[in-house]
Structure 1
Amino acid sequence: MPITASEDDDLPYEEEIIRNPYSVKCWMRYIEFKQNGSKTTLNMIYERALKELPGRYWYCLCYSKCLKNQSAVQFL
């Protein structure tokens, strides 16, 4: 998996994901780190996590809630 860090601060998270691509904990740390950043970037990270961990219902639920919250904020 190539590193796709959009900022220098992302590099430790990207490196950790390369070492442990199937670790839920690694992905969640990265998602939590990017929670207040760009919606596009956050969505990209969720989608990458879902690609690596396709059977994780919990990720689908979290991502679904994230998208719902983004839609609600957009229409305020």
Structure 2
Amino acid sequence: MQCSSIVAEMEKLQEEVALKREETSALRQQQLREEETKVEAILQNLNQQRLLNACLLHQHSCNQHLLDLLIPHFLG
């Protein structure tokens, strides 16, 4: 192989490496965006669950208060 063909082959390989690095970087960024979307959905679901739990706890408290008022009335 002549020196010029070796240099040309090296340049070609360097271009391929650069292209693969760009592809890998783009793929990683896409995967990161997908994972961020999943995390956001999980956090939104968690917040909804917390709100539901707060509502259920409030309802339970109201029901308990009502029972505390009614029990003496019917049993007393």
Q: TM-score, normalised by structure 1?
A: 0.28
Q: Which has the higher contact order (CA 8 A, sep 6+)?
A: 1
Q: TM-score, normalised by structure 2?
A: 0.28
Give the structure with higher Rg (CA): 2
